[in-house]
């Protein structure tokens, strides 16, 4: 038996590594799926009046939380798709401005248009950490009860919308 133990261990490891070759590195499992979205209250970008945003304001609605940053190249690629979605209004989109140290978000959105119903400003990155953000863009689909139903890592393309997000929206009755 001792003679076969190294071979068995080797075969088990080969099995794990082989399985890993077929996994999508963009599909990062989120511990938040099926759990309440982390609560926060943040100031809104470009609002000198001191307005804040909290996910509690979206209670009763299915909505997207899109984590983005002006310095993020992929976010700029995703922007036209989000603008189209905002015009067709399938769901409200909230844009979490993440770690915008150069304070460029308000100017960028003024120039290119904003697909967002609100843009909370996560300058410190703490809210992003609470959501498990590993980079931008990341998008969370949150249901009427404030439960995270989907996490997408990377830019939203028309294909991602059609194949991944839209079916989940239909499932939620949105």
Predicted confidence (pLDDT) at residue 126 exceeds the cutoff of 90? yes
pLDDT, the chain, mean:
91
Model pLDDT, residue 28? 58
3-state secondary structure 47-114: CCCCCEECHHHHCCCCEEEEEECCCCHHHHHHHHHHHHHHHHCCCCEEEEEECCCCCCHHHHHHHHCC
Model pLDDT, residue 115? 97
User: What are the pLDDT digits (tens) for 61-107?
Assistant: 999 999 999 999 999 999 999 999 999 989 999 999 999 998 999 99
User: What are the pLDDT digits (tens) for 22-66?
Assistant: 666 656 566 779 999 999 999 999 887 889 999 999 999 999 999
Model pLDDT, residue 174? 76
Q: Tell me the pLDDT band of 10, cut-offs 50, 70 and 90.
A: confident
Q: What percent of the chain has pLDDT over 70?
A: 94
Name the more confident of 3 and 88: 88
122-153 burial code (b ≥16 CB/10 A, e <16): bbeeebbeebbbeebbbbbbbbeebebbbbbb
Cβ neighbors of 38 (< 8 A, separation 6 or more) are 32, 55, 127, 130, 131
Model pLDDT, residue 155? 96
CATH code, 34-171: 3.40.30.10
The answer to whether the Cα torsion of 58, 89, 45, 142 is positive or negative is positive
């Amino acid at each position: 038996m001792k003679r076969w133990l190294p071979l068995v261990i080797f075969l088990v490891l080969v099995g794990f590594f082989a399985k890993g070759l077929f996994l999508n590195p963009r599909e990062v499992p989120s511990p938040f799926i099926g759990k309440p979205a982390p609560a926060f209250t943040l100031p809104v970008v470009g609002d000198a009046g001191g307005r804040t945003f909290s996910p509690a304001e979206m209670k009763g609605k299915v909505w997207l939380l899109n984590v983005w940053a002006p310095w993020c190249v992929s976010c700029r690629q995703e922007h036209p798709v989000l603008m189209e979605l905002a015009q067709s209004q399938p769901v409200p989109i909230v844009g979490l401005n993440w770690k915008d140290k150069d304070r460029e978000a308000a100017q960028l959105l003024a120039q290119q248009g904003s697909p967002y119903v609100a843009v909370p400003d996560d300058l410190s990155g703490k809210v992003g950490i609470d959501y498990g953000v590993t980079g931008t863009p990341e998008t969370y689909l949150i249901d009427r009860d404030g439960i995270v139903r989907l996490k997408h890592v990377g830019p939203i393309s028309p294909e991602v919308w059609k194949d991944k997000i839209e079916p989940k929206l239909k499932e939620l009755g949105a």
